[in-house]
């Protein structure tokens, strides 16, 4: 794995799309993330688009706009204009990079403005950006694993395999939705600490999980593992991900095979996928306590310790139904950073395939809840409320230990460095509705 900076990363670049040049904009010309969209309320076909400021470059409208670009960029734009990004993801890093360069040159301040190529984000609606064949959720935050382990297993919070192997489970791709997703409180079996038999009914301990999603680009043939030092060549980009959880269902069902109904009813992702190329200037050193086991050789690679991680700031906001009714904005209840992850993106891909498992373009990996070392960096209500024992007080005086019906959770993320533009992820929002 080598991290290459090129002209698209130049911090001095500006765009003829003025909103892209505003301080604090999520989508400057150095970002250029991908989504699938159409005009809201229309019968138009969904198609690929690229964010620039508060606008979307409609890849299906480019026409002769890339006439001066090389054939790889034009072919990649055609793949990206389809109703899912799978074909573009399958095209590989050279195609993604060629399209990024062509779009960067097209959108720069010294290029002729082409406003006819744009659709305002405020006029658009989004769908899941790829056909997700498979979804695997990992458990990469040692801070989250330890905190949750103390709640479920006070005498043995962190199982011995955690520091040796990236832990994951197979999720449900059919219930993944894009930001704006609303879903009903799930029903299932639960058994309280003082009950001798389980009962069936709506989950009572509903939670969010602050995660980063990883979209697979080019896959691998069955039986052919992806080497860890080439793993990121198979990663198209990252998004925000909320792995909603029913904690009381989880406590009853998770042994011996792990999560099932407690996790498969809804997962919300942000519409925008930020490419790993856009994130190249925001890489982070990967660190592990010297007393901990170091990665086995198949999970170790030259760039791991210097730049294996990503420095991505993450926020969780909560807006209750009362706050919404009274016009109050969502309140920040936690912050964290992806650099705290115990396992890297490359290690997740390598481990997933080391046994010969085939990944396919558009497959999604979840990082697992991204909690940091401080209490305010907890990525779930389970941690923030100490398992429901310590209510969280919101700015309007309302309290939560777990989510109430009508609560809206918003995830936001960005990569920042002094002297560099902000590379934003937009947001992933979802609303919990009452049980059916």
- Which sequence positions are flagged as catalytic? 144
Q: Which residues pair with 316 in a beta bridge?
A: 334, 411
255 burial type by CB count under 10 A (0-12 exposed, 13-18 middle, 19+ buried): exposed
DSSP string, 392-424: EEPTTS-EESSPPTT-EEEEEEEE--TTS--EE
Backbone angles phi, psi at 80, to 5 degrees: -75, -15
Token pair belonging to 285: 């050193």
The CB density around residue 161, as the number of other CB atoms within 10 Å, is 9
- Measured CA to CA, the distance from residue 133 to residue 143 in angstroms comes to 30
Q: Is 321 annotated as a binding residue?
A: no
211 is in an annotated binding site: yes
Give the separation between CA 382 and CA 281, rounded to whole angstroms: 34
169 is in an annotated binding site: no
For 168, 334, 344, the CA distances from 234, given in Å and listed in that order, are 19, 31, 14
Was 254 annotated as part of a binding site?
Answer: yes
Do 151 and 382 contact (CB within 8 A), yes or no?
yes
- Give the β-pairing of 135-138 and 364-366: parallel
Question: For residue 114, how many other CB atoms are within 10 A of its CB?
Answer: 16
Instruction: List, in sequence order, every beta strand (DSSP E) within 280-368.
Output: 283-284, 309-310, 313-319, 331-337, 364-366
Tokens of 306: 């210097």
* Residue 263 assigned ligand-binding role: yes
CB of 310 closer than 8 Å to CB of 339: yes
Q: Is 313 annotated as a binding residue?
A: no
In eight-state DSSP terms, residue 342 is: S
Q: Closest Cα partner for 352 from 364, 335, 339?
A: 364
Is 267 annotated as a binding-site member?
Answer: yes
209 assigned to a ligand binding site: yes
Query: In 10 A of CB 215, how many CB atoms?
Result: 26
**Residue 74 annotated as binding site:** no
Cα–Cα distance measured from residue 140 to residue 163, given in angstroms and rounded to the nearest whole number: 10
Which residues belong to the annotated binding site? 137, 139, 153, 209, 211, 243, 250, 254, 263, 267, 369
Which residues belong to the annotated binding site for Ca(2+)? 137, 209, 211, 243
Which residues belong to the annotated binding site for substrate? 139, 153, 250, 254, 369
């Amino acid at each position: 794995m080598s991290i290459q900076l090129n002209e698209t990363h130049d911090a001095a670049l500006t765009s003829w799309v003025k909103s892209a040049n505003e301080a604090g904009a999520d989508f400057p010309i150095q970002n250029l993330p991908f989504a699938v969209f159409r005009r809201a309320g229309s019968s138009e076909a969904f198609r690929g688009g690229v964010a620039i400021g508060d606008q979307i470059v409609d890849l299906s409208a480019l026409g002769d706009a890339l006439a001066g670009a090389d054939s790889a960029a034009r072919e990649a734009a055609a793949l990206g204009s389809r109703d899912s990004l799978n074909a573009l993801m399958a095209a590989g890093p050279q195609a993604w990079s060629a399209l990024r360069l062509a779009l960067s040159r097209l959108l720069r301040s010294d290029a002729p403005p082409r406003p006819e190529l744009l659709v305002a984000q405020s006029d658009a609606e989004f769908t899941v950006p790829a056909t997700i064949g498979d979804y695997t959720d990992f458990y990469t935050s040692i801070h989250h694993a330890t905190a949750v382990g103390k709640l479920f297993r006070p005498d043995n919070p962190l199982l011995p395999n955690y520091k040796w192997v990236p832990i994951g489970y197979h999720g449900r791709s059919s219930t993944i939705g894009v930001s704006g997703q609303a879903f009903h409180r799930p029903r299932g079996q639960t058994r309280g600490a003082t009950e001798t038999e389980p009962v069936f009914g709506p989950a009572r301990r509903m939670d969010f999980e602050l995660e980063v999603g990883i979209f697979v680009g080019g896959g691998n043939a069955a039986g052919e593992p992806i080497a860890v030092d080439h793993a990121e060549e198979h990663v198209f980009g990252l998004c925000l991900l909320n792995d909603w959880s029913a904690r009381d269902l989880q406590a009853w069902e998770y042994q011996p095979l792990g999560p099932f109904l407690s996790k498969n009813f809804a997962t919300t992702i942000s519409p925008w996928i930020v490419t790993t190329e856009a994130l190249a200037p925001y890489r982070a050193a990967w660190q592990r306590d010297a007393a901990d086991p170091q990665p086995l050789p198949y999970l170790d690679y030259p760039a791991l310790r210097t730049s294996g991680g990503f420095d991505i700031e993450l926020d969780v906001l909560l807006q209750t139904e009362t706050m919404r009714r009274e016009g109050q904005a969502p309140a920040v209840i936690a912050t964290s950073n992806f650099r705290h992850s115990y396992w890297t993106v490359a290690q997740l891909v390598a481990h997933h395939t080391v046994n010969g498992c085939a990944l396919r373009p558009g497959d999604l990996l979840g990082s697992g809840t991204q909690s940091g070392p401080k209490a305010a960096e907890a990525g779930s209500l389970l941690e923030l409320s100490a398992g429901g024992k310590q209510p969280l007080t919101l700015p309007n005086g309302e309290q939560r230990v777990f989510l109430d019906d009508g609560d809206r959770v918003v995830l936001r993320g960005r990569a920042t460095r002094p002297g560099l533009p902000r590379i934003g992820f937009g947001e992933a929002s979802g609303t919990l509705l009452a049980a059916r």
